[in-house]
Structure 1
Amino acid sequence: MSALRLSSPNRSSIVPIALAVLVALSVAMAGVTAAATHAPPPGTDAISVAAIDADDHRAHANPAVLAGVDPTAPPIEAEYVQEVPDEDDPWFEAADRDGAWISYINPRDEYRSPYLGDGSGKICVTLLNENGEVIVGESVPNTSVAIPTGDELEWHTSADPFTVEYPLTEHYERPLDADQFGTKPDLPQGDGYLDSHCLEWHGLPEDETVEYGEAEVQGEYADWIEVVGYIQVENEAWESDVDPLEDAVSYEEAGGGWTYEPDGSHGQAVVVLQLDPPAEAYEDEDEDEDENDTGDEREGEGGDDGDEGNETVAGGDDDSGDDGSDDADELPGFGAPVALVALLIGGLVAAARSRSGR
C-alpha cells in the first residue's frame, strides 16, 4: 500500500491568491491615505471651526441678491467687517440708561453754534456688494455719491451737499461710524457691526424742517452703483430691525425730509446703494484667474515637471514620460503592498519547489 502523500502547492494557484492579497492591501492603504488627506489639522476640531465661522458671519447679511448674480460666486468686493466699539474704546460715545439707544463717535458729527434747540439727526449712506453685504467701495475708486442738503444744514462743514468718496478707507479716518441695521440681544440698536457712513448734527430748533435731495452717483464707476432706495425714520430713535434692501423705498415715498415735533426731536435717513457691475467686469476677473492658472501650470512644467523629466531620462523611459513616482502618485500606498506580496510569492514558490523536489 503506497504511503499517503500530501499534494504540494501549485504555483499556478499561488498567483491568484497573491493578487487577491495585493488588492486587499492596496484598498486598505488607499483608505488610510484618503483619511489622512481629509483629516483636520492637528489640534483642530471641525465642529468648533464651523461654529466660529458661523459666529463671525454678519447677522444682517442679506440673502437677497441682484437678478442674474450667481450667489455661489464670490462678489467683486468682499464684505467689510468692523465691530462696533465697546465702552472701553475711545470711539464709543454714550448709551441711554434705559437702553433705548447707543451712540458711537462720528468725526462728521457737529453741534450748531449758536445752539438753537435739541433737534438732531443723521443722513447716512450704506454700500452693499452683489450679495447684500457691507463694503467700503474698494472696487469703485474715484467714485462718489452726493446728497444735497437744505439751508438748515448750511453751517455744517460736511453738508451742502453731503459727499461720500470711495473707497471710504482711503478718504476717511473713520470709514464707517454707525450700526444702522440688524439686531443683537445685548445691544439697544444694531447687530454689533458698523455698516454706514453718516453726516450727523445737533442744535437745530425743535420745530425745524430738515430736507435732503436725491443721491447722485458720480465718477469713474458710477454706472456700477445702483441707488436701491431710501429708509427714513422721523421723530423717534432709529429702529434697526429693518432690512437695507427689502425696506428701502423711492425718494418720493421716503419723503425727502421731516419736521421735528415736541418729544420727537430726532430723525434719520439712510441712502442704500448696491454694486451692480456689468457682465464684462466678471469676465475680466475670470480671464485673470485663467491666466494665473496657466502661469502656474507652466511654472510647474519648468520646475517640478522638469525634475520628473530628469528622472525619466535616468530611467530610460523617454517614450512614455512616466516613471515610478508617477505610478505612486496615481495609486497611493502601493509601494509597501507590492514589496510584501513579492516576498510572499517568493516564499510560496520556494516552498513549492522544495516540496516537489523531495
Structure 2
Amino acid sequence: LLYGASEIGVGGRFMDGYNAIMESKDIIFDQLANLGFEGVSGFCIFASLGGGTGCGGTPALIELLKQRFQEEEGRRIFVYVIGILPFEGQSSEALNSIWAVSKLLRAQLQERGADLTILLSNRTMLRRILQWRKGESVDYLRRELDVDIADIDSIEKMVPSTLDEASAAESRTEQAFVELVNPMALDVVEAMLSPGVWESHKDVFPTTDLADYSRKLDPVVVPAHYSDIGLIPDAGSMPKQLKTMIDYAVKECSYADVGEEPNAESVYYVLSGPAHIAKAEYGMHVKEALDKFIAPGAAITPCYVQYHIKDAKTNLLLLLGLPKIPELVTIINEATQLVNLHSGASPLKQGWFMRSKGTSRKELVDA
C-alpha cells in the first residue's frame, strides 16, 4: 500500500501513522480494489511493531477492513497480523511496540481486532541466527558494516535505535541486521501457508488453511519452526525422538522468547515430511511431549503433511496460542525507562511525548 504525504514514514510518531491510514481510506481501498479484493476472504498485514508506520498504521488498517467488510457488507473476513518486535536496546521502538501491542490486544478483546496476531521478535530471531549460522552471519555483518566484530556476544546489542535523528551509519547498521533476520520471518509465513497450497505429490490431513489457525488458536500466537529434523523410526524409540524434537522446537526455535514454561493455552502443530514420518499414529507421542509446555486443558490441533517424493525433509511448525512471553516484560522495562527519562515538571519534558510520539504520557503509561 502506498499512502500519505511522506515518502520516508512518520519518524516514529505512531499517532501520525494511525492518522495517515485513516486520512487515506479512499486511496487504500482504491488500491485494494485494483488488486481484486472483492473475492478474498482474508488479509495478512506484515508490520514492524517498532516504527511509527507499522505501530500506528496496523490498528488503523484493521479498523478500516473490519468496518468495510463486516459492518457495511456483512461479509466475514479474516485478518492476520504478523508483527515484528524490536531489537534489544531500541528503547524508542520498545515504547512504540508496547502501545501497538496494547492497541491490538484491546481491539481483540472487543472483537473488533485481528483474528490472529502472530508475534515474532527481531532480538530472538537474531539470537537464533547467531546460534545456528554464527560464522556466516558474522562474515555478512563485517562485510556490510566494515567493522571488526571481535566479541560474538556483543552483536545482539549492536543495533541502534533509528527513530530519533539517526545517522547514516546507524540506519545502515539497522538495515544490515534487518536483512539478516527477514528470511526467518518469511520461513514462518511460508510454513503456515504450505498446508493450504495444492501440490500433486503431497497429502494433507486434516485440510488446513489460515482460517483454521484462527478458529483453533487463541488470538495471540508465537511460532516455532524446526526444519530439516533428523527423525529416524528405525534408529530407536520414536517417543523419545519426538520428545527431543518438541523440546528443541520450543526452547531453541521459537521466534519470540517464550522461556522454559510457556504455559500456552492452545497449540496448532504442522508436522511435514515423508509419509512414514508425518503420520497421525505419532500424534499421541507429540501431545505427551507438548504437555509440559501447555496449560491444563489446552487444546492441541494437529496437521500432517505427507510428501511422496524422494528425500523429502521433515519440518515442524508449532503455533503457541497465548503463551507467556518473557521478552514482552523486557520490552516493557525498556519502554518504562524511556518514559521515566522524559518525565518531569518542566514543560520541555512534558512536551516530549507529544513531539516524539504524537500522544500523551498518560496514554503510554496506560498501554
TM-score normalised per structure 1:
0.28
Q: Which has the higher helix share?
A: 2
**Max radius of gyration: which structure?**
1
Q: Name which structure has the greater RCO, CA cutoff 8 Å, separation 6+.
A: 1
TM-score normalised per structure 2:
0.28
